[in-house]
Amino acid sequence: MSCKQTTLGAPIAFSGKGLHTGAIVSMVVLPAEADRGIVFRRTDLKGGPEVPALARFVSDTARGTTIKQGKAKVSTIEHLMASLWMMGVDNAVVEIDAPEVPIMDGSARAYVEEIAKVGTVELEAERRYFEVPERVTFAIEKKGVEIVVDPAEEFSVDLTVDYSSQVVGRQFIHFDNSVDFATEVAPCRTFVFLHEIEILLRLGLIKGGSVESALVVVEKPISDRSKRRICRAFKKEDIEVENGYLNHSPLRFPDEIARHKLLDILGDLALLGVRFKGKVTALRPGHLANTQTALKLSKLLA
């Protein structure tokens, strides 16, 4: 485990659609000096306003994590944050010309691959580790959501998802420092239940979504009317259901959904701003619970 802070070995660039806005996004992640942390800079706005990637700047958690400070607002940051954190990057400036990070293929694979190409470099400053001093909990009882963080000598996560779904089932995943994030977690795609899609469309969301960048879980037969609406939304001539998934491309892992929720929680907990030692136990976590847990932990920082 490195004792020194790090940054990227060179800039890395990405381009793609925002999941919810549908806007084409260009993004460059730049090396940064020690103690800068991860900062997002809106290059499309006058003066290039910035917002630090910290829990206290979270402004929205509907279908993704959004941070905001003044005019600088950036959404769907969790996959990039997880990639930077788990690939060992402590300091970086993310220049982005739109209000949302590109969704890529719905996973963090592209981010991890580019970080791996340029590698990291050590800086002179010491890396800070936060040792969780006491149990921290956050729960939404009516939704069966609970996150518990206990003191521990190392960082680990035990995560369970259970949506009472015959397709998804109950899935459990464990993560610690022995797990290769790049191959075991980063490739896992975001997901949505079919019955949620029309609601999201009515809310003006998932304008950049596609069956190529998300797993769509189908619990019940699809009516012809619903098929037509979904085809129009995703610009498809036809849709099919196979093994409970819409226009199914093979699952990358049998428990890909649990692994994606792990990806999300890692990205959201990175908003603590420092690496920490603690055992995280999460049941049906989501962005609200994840970021509120990070905020609670941040209040214990000396």
Read out DSSP for 108-161?
SHHHHHHHHHH-EEEEEEEPPEEE--S-EEEEEGGGTEEEEEEE-SS-EEEEEE
> Coil, helix or strand for 286?
coil
Task: Indicate the helix (H) or strand (E) that contains 39.
Answer: strand 38-42
Number of Cβ within a 10 Å radius of residue 108:
31
DSSP state letter for 223 = P
Cross-strand pairs, 75: 100
Token duo for residue 235 = 């610009």
Distances (CA, A) of 186 to 80, 95, 263, 296: 10, 22, 7, 26
Instruction: Check the CA dihedral 46-10-24-96 and report its sign.
Output: negative
Q: Report the greatest alpha carbon distance in the chain.
A: 62
Q: Are the CB atoms for 125 and 68 separated by under 8 Å?
A: no
Distances (CA, A) of 164 to 144, 198, 262: 11, 20, 19
Residue of 20, 79, 260, 287 with catalytic role: 287
> Coil, helix or strand for 72?
strand
Is 195 an annotated catalytic residue? no
Which residue numbers are catalytic? 287
